[in-house]
Amino acid sequence: MADTTPLIPLPRSAARLLIAAGAVATIASTFMSWTWTPDFPGDLTVYGYPAGLQVIALVAGLLTLLFSLTLWNVRGLRRLNPTGATTPYLFIALSGFAVCWYTAIAIAVDLGGLVNLDPGGYVAVVASALPVLGALALPRPGSGARHYFTKPEQPAPARPLTGWTPYAIIIAGIALGLLAFTYGIGISPDESETFIGFSLLVLFAAWALVHAGQLDRFSALCAQHKGFATTAAFIAAAIFPFTQSDDHNANLGVNILIFGTVALGLNIVVGLTGLLDLGYVAFLGVGAYAAALVSGSEYSRFAGTQFPFWAAALVGMAASLVFGVLIGAPTLRLRGDYLAIVTIGFGEIFRIAVNNMDGTSGPDITNGPDGIPAIPDLKILGFDFGDQHAVAGATLGRFANYFFLMLLITALVVLVFTRAANSRIGRAWIAIREDETAAVAMGINGFRVKLVAFALGASLAGLAGTVSAHVTYNVVPTPYQFAGSTPPNSAFLLAAVVLGGMGTVSGPLIGAALLYLLPEKLTFLQQYELLAFGLALVILMRFRPEGLIANRRRQLEFHETGQLDVPDSPELPDSTVGVTKAGA
Amino acid sequence: MRFGGLTAVREVDLTVRSGEIVGLIGPNGAGKTTFFNCLTGLYVPTQGTVSYRGTVLPPKPHLVTKAGIARTFQNIRLFANMTVLENVMVGRHTRTKEGLWSALLRGPGFRKAEQAGEERSMELLEFVGLAHKRDHLARNLPYGEQRRLEIARALASEPGLLLLDEPTAGMNPQETRTTEELVFAIRDKGIAVLVIEHDMRFIFNLCDRVAVLVQGRKLVEGTSDVVQADERVVAAYLGEPFEGDPGEAEAAEVEAAEAQAAEAGSDTETADAESTSTTKGEPQ
């Protein structure tokens, strides 16, 4: 049996008291002043009114307190930590600890010395360390650090929920997600410190929830009520612009949607069919350029021709489709690494060709490096996307309008993805990913099926490209490169798919949101961004190779956690587990 | 079939009639699997043709399967991360038509086809005894069940000729017997079976005819009695009894075997591999 003696020898009652007391003290500290000057981002000087990082510490404290109550077997709270594992307590305690200590260090560094800390700051530093000590006094999950990174055993099967509870839980979960997203996106880029604190909280809290088996249960619940969960998620996304007073955040939102939609298209090619395409951003570029050419911009080669949006979207899709087939037909005969290398090449060919088609180095089509500026706003059925519109008391700016259009397109792409994946052709794609030789021997025309995947992915990216051309006012060749420091580029798109989870719907969308938001908010990281990004990917691949959102299949593939039909194991009495393990 | 300077299979002429179980045996490296790969179009034969019911098949695997020849692999090649049911449904690929558009629009035709495909696949899973494991991942099945799933997947393409590449490799005697019964049941469905195997008891119990392949050539073909009685087969597997000067005797034996093989192959001038499932009635 694994060694589970706690690191700190303390009786269980003392440990849980330490956690709860530390949490309460942390909460109290957030109502005090942490520093004397409002120079530090987020004004932490006011007594009785938490702000900025204090709010984040407050939330961490509340969560820690809530979790600690499960150690007393409070009725109804047992669901919070059904496995009875001790790691969630440690991680939730670490969230408060990380936020408070980071804040204290940031104050000391930014303002020059510990002298700038007010009493509240010292209280927070001490108080937030207590729950960590308490959690370390609980039995360890096993000898070795591995147990802190990988998920513990499969959670006990949830009791079937009846009536409205599953719906309420789904809505609550999605609302929580929306809340976290709007809060994160609402943090001003000048307050990088606040955003880091927020990221620490989200990271550790999510880690704790994963270890408590909550995320598994939630995703199982969503899978059970798929239609409802999807609808709720889209409604939540549609509420987002109403929560923003600033059109800048809506701009971030629409860019995330574009990026996420393209990543979802790439997921068909990479995640389902297993074709490593490293030049995928070119299809976004083809769609954007095609839409720009027929947008009625006076700098377009076809100045004066202004297609209605539906026609422009079709042109963008068709152009990408043709480009996809042209690239796919010769390259899809290659497998694995060779395909990846060739697709990089073709992706770069697009960018360089567009760069040169300026009338001097080549035919005058794309205006070369200047691109096509002054793309007019869309007008659909008299609705001008460039104007502000007042809807239900909220003013929706230009980007909010495009956000709604893009949300519709994302919904369409999600529909296409799920329907295609669960069909004869989707099965053929997955079969080719799994074993191309066997798939071909089972009667699948490998080349044709792969070409369909390639063409479908390309045309979906082209569709997103048509909107992106209008959102950004202009199209230039530079963003459509293989690797760069800002999304979208092929490397980031692939990272969004891999980070989020291959073969899933929500994975690439979440991955895209993270990859877009982090560089946007952590401006000070700009020089080290790619380094940090690479490190994050390495760490993720080491500990969670299936991505943030695990496809059921891939999860089973990477962690041999057992069968799909886990036999109903009798639920262990929560209270005794820790003690007996500790004694053994 | 030639790989560079190496001729892996030469002048093998084999005919399988419908409702027949034919065994293909030979020492390791004799070219049995290469022969299968030629038949199914995974290798393009350098010489010779494969014909099925009178038509010559193009060397494209998916067209061969479509025509009605399905196979299993020596080292199991299931779609490891798909469920058992999905594996079988992939096998039905050539017998269904629904393309991307019908998948996206989900009309009544699509639903009907999906449902029919699922029902048919479940029938096959029941046939091989895996119906209760429909939602398991193929990779999590025990070895013997993976073999049976591979057979079910091959059967899903509604073949007239089934090629089994060492279906009992690594099985215990009881599992081998189950497989034997399964192969008989497949034959009773009117499907011709060509099976590669090293388990002689299995082969001689099962097969109506047995062909012996040695160093890429067909040594002998006939009923199990004929093959078992043939000295050259014994020699190919066990070597010559040690008498006198082994070098000379062996050389003479090999020469004799080669002469015999050349004679057997001479009636088809250029055919490396020919499999004809000549049918009298329509096989089910």
Q: Tens digit of pLDDT for each residue in A386-396?
A: 777 777 777 78
Contact check, Cβ <8 Å, A442/B90: yes
Separation between Cα atoms, residue A94 and residue A283, nearest integer Å: 43
* Residue B246 pLDDT grade (very low, low, confident, very high; cuts 50, 70, 90): low
Contact check, Cβ <8 Å, A556/B81: yes
What integer pLDDT is reported at residue B242 of this predicted model?
A: 61
ipTM for this prediction: 0.83
Of A82-91, A113-122, B249-258, least confident by mean pLDDT is B249-258
Report the half-sphere exposure of A372 (CA within 13 A, side-chain side): 29
Q: Which chain A residues are closer than 8 Å to B58 by Cβ?
A: none
| A265 has a pLDDT exceeding 90 | yes
How many beta carbons lie within 10 A of that of residue B201, not counting itself? 12
Q: In this predicted model, which residue has the larger pLDDT, A290 or A113?
A: A290
Paired tokens of A6: 């706690």
What integer pLDDT is reported at residue A3 of this predicted model?
A: 60
What integer pLDDT is reported at residue A13 of this predicted model?
A: 82
Which range, A135-144, A250-259, A368-377, is most confident? A250-259
Contact check, Cβ <8 Å, A425/B106: no
Q: In this predicted model, which residue has the larger pLDDT, A158 or B100?
A: B100
- Residue A571's φ and ψ, nearest 5 degrees, are -70, 130
A56 CA: distance to closest CA in chain B (Å) = 41
| A568 has a pLDDT exceeding 70 | no
Contact check, Cβ <8 Å, A557/B65: no
> By C-alpha distance, which of B180, B115, B104 is closest to B148?
B180
Q: Which chain A residues are closer than 8 Å to B80 by Cβ?
A: 434-435, 557
* Residue A409 pLDDT grade (very low, low, confident, very high; cuts 50, 70, 90): very high
What integer pLDDT is reported at residue A501 of this predicted model?
A: 85
Of A275-289, A372-386, A550-564, B222-236, least confident by mean pLDDT is A550-564
* Residue-by-residue DSSP string for A394-408: EEE-HHHHHHHHHHH
Contact check, Cβ <8 Å, B103/A419: yes
Quick: pLDDT tens for A186-230.
Answer: 888 778 888 888 989 998 998 888 888 788 788 888 888 888 988
Quick: pLDDT tens for A539-549.
Answer: 878 777 777 77
What integer pLDDT is reported at residue A155 of this predicted model?
A: 55
* Residue A324 pLDDT grade (very low, low, confident, very high; cuts 50, 70, 90): very high
| A17 has a pLDDT exceeding 70 | yes
* Residue A256 pLDDT grade (very low, low, confident, very high; cuts 50, 70, 90): very high
Which residue reads 């995330």 in tokens? A256
Report the half-sphere exposure of B145 (CA within 13 A, side-chain side): 19
Contact check, Cβ <8 Å, A427/B61: no
Contact check, Cβ <8 Å, A435/B79: yes
Q: Which chain A residues are closer than 8 Å to B102 by Cβ?
A: 423
Paired tokens of A85: 């594992």
| A479 has a pLDDT exceeding 90 | no
Quick: pLDDT tens for B252-279.
Answer: 776 777 776 665 544 333 334 444 443 3
A253 CA: distance to closest CA in chain B (Å) = 27
Contact check, Cβ <8 Å, B98/A557: no
Query: Which of A268, A317, A333, A434 is best to mutate for the B interface (most B CBs within 10 A)?
Result: A434
What integer pLDDT is reported at residue B261 of this predicted model?
A: 64
Q: Which chain B residues are closer than 8 Å to A426 by Cβ?
A: 103
What would you measure as the largest C-alpha separation in chain B, in angstroms? 79
Q: Which chain A residues are closer than 8 Å to B71 by Cβ?
A: 441
What integer pLDDT is reported at residue A375 of this predicted model?
A: 85
Q: In this predicted model, which residue has the larger pLDDT, A391 or A349?
A: A349
| B55 has a pLDDT exceeding 60 | yes
Average pLDDT over residues A111-135: 85
Q: Which chain B residues are closer than 8 Å to A436 by Cβ?
A: none
Paired tokens of B138: 């193929």
Q: Which chain A residues are closer than 8 Å to B81 by Cβ?
A: 430, 434, 553-554, 556-557
| A267 has a pLDDT exceeding 70 | yes
Which range, A562-566, B30-34, B230-234, is most confident? B30-34
Contact check, Cβ <8 Å, B137/A564: yes
Which residue reads 């699997």 in tokens? B33
Type of residue numbered A186: G
Contact check, Cβ <8 Å, A416/B104: yes
Quick: pLDDT tens for A159-195.
Answer: 667 778 888 889 999 999 899 888 888 888 778 888 8
Percent of chain A with pLDDT over 70: 91
A325 CA: distance to closest CA in chain B (Å) = 16
Can you list the positions of beta strands (E) in A420-571? Answer: none
| A555 has a pLDDT exceeding 60 | no
B94 → chain A, closest CA residue:
A443
Query: Which of B71, B76, B86, B93 is best to mutate for the A interface (most A CBs within 10 A)?
Result: B93
Nearest to A420 among B62, B81, B104 (CB): B104
Average pLDDT over residues A44-62: 84
Average pLDDT over residues A410-434: 93
B96 → chain A, closest CA residue:
A424
What integer pLDDT is reported at residue A466 of this predicted model?
A: 93
Cross-strand pairs, B83: B137
Contact check, Cβ <8 Å, A430/B42: no
* Residue-by-residue DSSP string for A352-408: HHHHH-BSSSS-BSS-GGG-B--PPPPEETTEETTS-EEETTEEE-HHHHHHHHHHH
Query: Which of A268, A413, A414, A424 is best to mutate for the B interface (most B CBs within 10 A)?
Result: A424
Q: Which chain A residues are closer than 8 Å to B57 by Cβ?
A: none
Percent of chain A with pLDDT over 90: 24
Q: What is the mean pLDDT of chain B?
A: 83
What integer pLDDT is reported at residue A461 of this predicted model?
A: 94
| A446 has a pLDDT exceeding 80 | yes
Quick: pLDDT tens for B158-174.
Answer: 999 999 999 988 888 88
B272 CA: distance to closest CA in chain A (Å) = 21
B88 → chain A, closest CA residue:
A442
> By C-alpha distance, which of A466, A544, A456, A443 is closest to A498?
A544
Q: Which chain B residues are closer than 8 Å to A419 by Cβ?
A: 103-104, 106
Q: In this predicted model, which residue has the larger pLDDT, B264 or A343?
A: A343
Separation between Cα atoms, residue A213 and residue A85, nearest integer Å: 9
Could you tell me if B63 and A441 are in contact, meaning their C-beta atoms sit under 8 angstroms apart? no
What integer pLDDT is reported at residue A164 of this predicted model?
A: 84
Nearest to A456 among B100, B139, B140 (CB): B100
* Residue A566 pLDDT grade (very low, low, confident, very high; cuts 50, 70, 90): very low
